[in-house]
Structure 1
């Protein structure tokens, strides 16, 4: 009885969270997509990644009315729709975490190794990388199609052929979809912590701080879901010896399932809200909104700052080239400090 009451309360709370996520996140992500496509040219790598992240979030959010209805009533949309929508959600989950990881690595390289970053931007390798990210996300989500099933008019169940298959699927989802990418994010921002306050260019400081906020909110929203996966792995291990063991742990996992799932959807909602708060420092006008100015600022497309940064990099590269030439012509050893000062 206690479990049923906890599940009912969890369902109601989850529906409220999902409803608010749909009402806030759908127009918010549409605004971000429209603003970037319509008003921001040229676009920096960070803004391009934000665009793809907003697309992934929007694809997740437009499925929410069906999930809310199924939680309050039952799933009446058929087995194919159940598998298809679950596949879309998992694809967007993987693509989101990969996109945020790339944003973190891009910020790390841009701050610590600006010459490499400038060369990467000129090569326009981001488009190929984005195609790879989406293709990998589609591939990783295939197991969901095979395991998701309808049971008791609910599209919330996975059916595995064996405990080993369940362990593999849960480990794949948690390690590849969270632990490894989030570890990369933490390493990147740990290395950048002392540098952020010292950044010369406002656009670089603004984009680095914004990306760090996206990472933090993503972690807060997804940690409960992956904690649930870890609890499921522990239960599998415990119940192999005694099927009746771990009842308390099963109660905890069942009670947190709906809330954790709802918070995962919230991660698709918070980013536009974050951009609005970040854009408060930009005064809007009749011709430009604060969000337009924010994304243009990050892209360096406002007069001056982006051009100054690239010209600064160019001057540093020219200086290094001239210094190297000087060392070569004078037959001075390359490890002497005067030849490495750049």
Structure 2
């Protein structure tokens, strides 16, 4: 156990500091660019804006977890509940916002129905508000159960779920069900269905290469899965051990604890990746970013003209109206 504690004291503060700086700066850039050119925002852009806000909320919790790795939890029960709940809200909101993006693109491309047209901004904001509200409801068990608990194995105080009551087994099962099924498996199935149908539709219409916006959206979804799937696998193993499906032993406990530290850190790192995906893949975002830098005097007009990428638009008309696709 002391090996795990020593590993966390070195690895977590360094990694969390890096993620905090990169995630905060990158997502603030995303928000600044999108708000500067908010008149051009599509429904998908608005969901990505909310995704950046969720990522910022997560990275703001990292200094607290870094301190816990070194000194234990020194911030009391109230902050334990708040910080732990912010983590859960971000986790759930990230994947549900990605589901909204996937469903929006599915309707637009497969059924030629643009659910979130520019003049229906109220609808997309209500959708985002519903996502945030639902995710807050999912975090209520964390608000109730998270406490500053004496972790006997490490002889330190940590912010953990307190399952000491008679209903501990019920609450543990409920939280793990929400995390595994509602927070990962079901949304993953929805996104997989949407993107398989989208790819089949684009291939049949010979338009796959033309819809460059799909590169950004698919990259965002795949990145989320690669970052959070390992943590779900480790946590599922811990769940099976907790309910005696797998035999508990010291070596397995050690591997699970180290696995939690590494894979949860990988999940946190997801906060840093979306801004880089937009910058290197998204034509619209990259162009707006260059123009913003030019407006504030960071780069010259000649540089902007040299690296500004022309945007091509493709239209698909249907009985329900006109649906336009453009690179993000």
Q: TM-score, normalised by structure 1?
A: 0.77
Deviations 1:101-152 (A, max 9, x none): 11111111111111x2257665442122111111000000000112212124
Whole-Å Cα distance in 2 between the matches of residues 304 and 74 of structure 1?
51
Distance 2:208 2:227 in 1: 32
Q: Aligned to 1:274, which of 246, 261, 277?
A: 277
Structure 2 distance, partners of 1:71, 1:239, is 30
Matched, 1:265 2:268: yes
Higher mean alpha-carbon deviation, 262-271 vs 228-237, is at 228-237
Counterpart for residue 180 of structure 2: 174
Aligned with 1:218 (options 217, 221, 224): 224
Q: Is the 8 A contact 1:7 1:254 kept in 2?
A: no
Describe how 1:30-109 pairs up with structure 2 within 5 A.
30-109=28-107
Note the 1:168-207 alignment, pairs <5 A: 168-196=174-202, 198-199=206-207, 202=210, 205-207=211-213
Aligned pair in 2 of structure 1 residues 176, 200: CA closer, same or farther (>3 Å)? closer
Aligned CA distance change for structure 1 residues 129 and 285 (closer, same or farther; 3 Å): closer
Match of 1:117 in 2: 114
For 1:5, the equivalent position in structure 2 comes to 3
Q: Distance in 2 between matches of 1:285 and 1:128?
A: 27
Whose helix fraction is larger, Structure 1's or Structure 2's?
1
Measured in 1, the distance between the counterparts of 2:289 and 2:137 equals 45
TM superposition shift of 1:273: 1.5
Change (3 A) 1:268 1:260: same
Shift of 1:24: 0.8
- Report if aligned partners of 2:235, 2:260 keep a CA contact under 8 Å in 1: no
Q: Which has the larger radius of gyration?
A: 1
Q: Distance in 2 between matches of 1:277 and 1:44?
A: 19
Residue equivalent to 1:340: none
Q: TM-score, normalised by structure 2?
A: 0.80
Distance 1:30 1:4 in 2: 38
Indicate the SS of the match to 1:41: helix
- Counterpart among 313, 317, 327 of residue 313 in structure 1: 317
User: Counterpart of 1:269 in 2: which secondary structure?
Assistant: helix
Q: Does 223-232 or 180-189 show the bigger shift? A: 223-232
Q: Distance in 2 between matches of 1:318 and 1:101?
A: 24
- Determine if contact 2:92/2:183 at 8 Å carries over to the other structure: yes
Separation (CA, whole Å) in 2 of partners of 1:193 and 1:48: 23
Distance of 2:6 and 2:171 partners within structure 1: 30
Structure 2 gap segments, 5+ residues each: 151-155, 295-308, 323-328
Matched, 1:163 2:169: yes
Whose strand fraction is larger, Structure 1's or Structure 2's? 2
- Give yes or no for contact 2:213–2:282 (8 Å, CA) kept in 1: no
CA displacement at 1:7 relative to structure 2: 4.1
Report whether the alignment pairs 1:234 with 2:237: no
**Using a 3 Å threshold, how does the CA distance of structure 1 residues 201 and 78 change in structure 2: closer, same or farther?**
same
State the number of aligned residues: 296
The 1-side partners of 2:277 and 2:110 are apart by: 25
Deviations 1:71-106 (A, max 9, x none): 122222221111111111111111111001111111
Q: Aligned Cα RMSD in Å?
A: 3.0
SS at match of 2:160: strand
Deviations 1:279-320 (A, max 9, x none): 479668974559xxxxxxxxxxx99966x73xx537x5589x
